[in-house]
Copies of this chain bind each other. A is one copy, B any other.
Amino acid sequence: MRLLLINPNISESVSELIAAEAKRTASAGTEISIVTAPFGVAYIETRFEALIGAYAVAQLAAEHYSSVDAIVVAAFGDPGLPALREAIPVPIIGMSESAFATATLLGQRFSIIAISSRISAWYRETVERCGLEGRLASIRTLDKPLANISSVQTDQAQQLLALCESAVREDGADVLVIAGAPLAGLARQIRDRLPVPAIDGVSCAVAQAEALAALSPRHATAGSFAPPPVKPHRGLPDSLAGLLETGRARA
C-alpha cells in the first residue's frame, strides 16, 4: 500500500523524524511518503495553531489523495479530522486517534506524555472529541520552553522518562501514549525501561492504516461522513474546489 503522511506543520526536521519512525513500523509492502505543510507554524500547541494546520492538511490531502491508498495526519491532536474524513475518498486517520484506539486494546486507562504544558488543553479536548475521557488517566507534560523542537527527545530524555514513571505510579496509567510528532520514535527507544506498554502516535497510525487496508472499508455515501452536499462555492484553492466537485460524483 502507498501511505502518505502529512505533517501539518512547516518543520522539515520533524517530518524526517516522522518518516523514519513510520518506516521502522511499516510492513514490507507499505510504501511511505511524507509531505510537509507549505504554510503554518513550527509545531502545534494550541487550538488556533491547529486551525491553521487543519487548512494546510486539507489542501495537501486534496492534492495527493488520488495517488495513495491511505493518509495519516501526522500531528498529535489530528488537525483537520474528522472533517477530512467526509471529503477525502481514501482512509484518513490521525496520530492521536490511532494511538488511542491502540491503547484501548492494551489496558484500561492511558496517560499522554507531551512536550509542553500549553499543549495539554488541546490534547484533553482531542480525547474528549474521541469520547474517551473515561479512559484517560492523565496528561503529563514538560514544562519548560523548548530550545529545539527536533531534538527535544534527546534534550529532555530524563524528564520524559520521569513523566512516564509518574503517570504509572501516581495516575494509574496502564498504557503510555508518547504524544506529538517531535517525539516520534521515542516510545520504541525507551519502552524496555518502562513498566507498562508505551506507544507512539506515528507507529500506531501506520499500523492502524495497514489494519484499515486489510479491511478495505468503503467510503460513506450516506450518514455524516458522506461527501458534503454539492452547493455553490467560491474562491477556494483548486484542490479544495475539486474535492467539493468530486463529492458530487461519489455521492
Name the distance in Å between A176's Cβ and chain B's nearest Cβ. Answer: 10
A107 touches B49 (CB 8 A): no
Chain B minimum-CB-distance residue to A25: B214
Say yes or no: is A215 at the interface (Cβ < 8 Å to chain B): yes
A217 touches B236 (CB 8 A): no
Give the docked Cα–Cα distance between A234 and B191 (Å).
35
The interface size of chain A toward B, counting residues with CB under 8 Å, comes to 100
Identical subunits present: 6
B207 touches A48 (CB 8 A): no
Q: Which of A116, A204, A207 has its CB near the most chain B CB atoms (within 10 A)?
A: A207
A104 touches B97 (CB 8 A): yes
Say yes or no: is A122 at the interface (Cβ < 8 Å to chain B): yes
Q: Which of A25, A116, A174 has its CB near the most chain B CB atoms (within 10 A)?
A: A174
Say yes or no: is A101 at the interface (Cβ < 8 Å to chain B): yes
14 A-B pairs, CB-CB below 8 angstroms?
A: A40-B236, A41-B233, A46-B224, A85-B106, A93-B105, A105-B208, A118-B229, A121-B224, A172-B223, A175-B217, A192-B218, A196-B223, A196-B225, A198-B218
The 4 closest A-B pairs by CB, nearest first: A39-B235, A121-B224, A195-B222, A197-B217
